[in-house]
Amino acid sequence: MDMIREFRDKYSPVQGDLQLQNFLIYANRLQYIQQKMSEWKPETFLELSVRPYKNPLPFYGFWFAIVIGIASILALVATIIQTYATLKELELQIQELNGP
């Protein structure tokens, strides 16, 4: 509908509110395209990178959650590695204190 309004405001000699009924030949096709654009949902992994036509907030929320999730997983892995290294170092120090 924004495209139709832009056409009306900038290019059309008709000044008034254009409706789909004003486009006798293309009305059904325009309505079908608008419906498909409104109902579009990603179905493949690659389509997740395409911002939807309407309501982009869930798109950005999804990618924000992915970034935070990856950062959290990396922090967890780093903590586990650091804990393991600390325990190994503690075992070595205990062995040195007990002597040969």
Q: How does pLDDT run along the chain (100 residues), one tens digit per residue? A: 787 777 767 766 665 666 777 777 888 888 888 888 877 778 888 888 888 777 788 889 999 999 999 999 999 999 999 999 999 999 999 988 887 6
Same domain, 100 and 68: yes
Domain limits for position 1: 1-39
Q: Does residue 47 belong to any structural domain of this protein?
A: no
Total number of domains in the chain: 2
**15 CB contacts (<8 Å, ≥6 apart)?**
8
pLDDT at 39: 79
Same domain, 67 and 97: yes
Q: Which two tokens mark 94?
A: 């205990």
**31 CB contacts (<8 Å, ≥6 apart)?**
20
Same domain, 33 and 67: no
Q: Which two tokens mark 100?
A: 């040969």
pTM of the predicted protein model: 0.56
Q: Does residue 50 belong to any structural domain of this protein?
A: no
pLDDT at 16: 61
Q: Does residue 44 belong to any structural domain of this protein?
A: no
CA 77/CA 72 separation, integer angstroms: 9
Q: Does residue 19 belong to any structural domain of this protein?
A: yes
